[in-house]
Amino acid sequence: MGDIEPPESTAAPPSQDGILSILPNKDFIASQKGKLLTAEVVLSLITFICFAASTDGSYVTAPLIEFLLAFFLLFAYSTKLNERFKGYHWPLMDFLRCVSASIIYFIISIIAMSRSTQTASRAGAVFGFIATVVFAFDFYVIFNELVSFIRQGGQPSEEPQAADSGNDSDSDSE
């Protein structure tokens, strides 16, 4: 009487989607955007560490904020979080982030290079100039994507634009 076995569960085993949804997508990390975001995260972290190692504490805030923003977008894009929140125009937010980051990095790098005599601040300025180039290239790539998005009338394209190779969009206005 005491050996009553519980009935076998007919429910499906627990899904691992919860765990897999927070792991980065390897395909995204290998893409051009993934490589750019990874470079932005690494350069921002190195620049932050260099400025934190110097006694000039005034340059630390911008690289820290840019590191956190780039890391968040890397996480959001690699886990496809951006596909779950359709209310935001992610490329536009990413474009504004890259433009502001490249301007800020350029300014603080010039100031740190010209005013500081410390090696750590100068190293941070050099990495800041490299980060400026990476962020500028990223906003150039995003800008081209936004222009093609606007030209298509705001409809995301599923097919490459090579299908329209016979039509020249500039000649349509004549």
Tell me the torsion sign for CA atoms 97, 103, 109, 111.
Answer: negative
Structure confidence at residue 23 (pLDDT): 63
Structure confidence at residue 166 (pLDDT): 47
Structure confidence at residue 63 (pLDDT): 93
The set of long-range contacts for 54-61, using a CB threshold of 8 Å and a minimum separation of 24, is: 54/116, 54/118, 54/120, 54/121, 54/124, 55/118, 56/112, 56/115, 56/116, 56/118, 56/121, 59/108, 59/111, 59/112, 59/121, 59/124
Cα separation, 78 vs 72, in Å, equals: 10
Structure confidence at residue 110 (pLDDT): 95
Q: Which residues of the chain have pLDDT under 50?
A: 9, 11-15, 159-167, 169-174
Structure confidence at residue 65 (pLDDT): 94
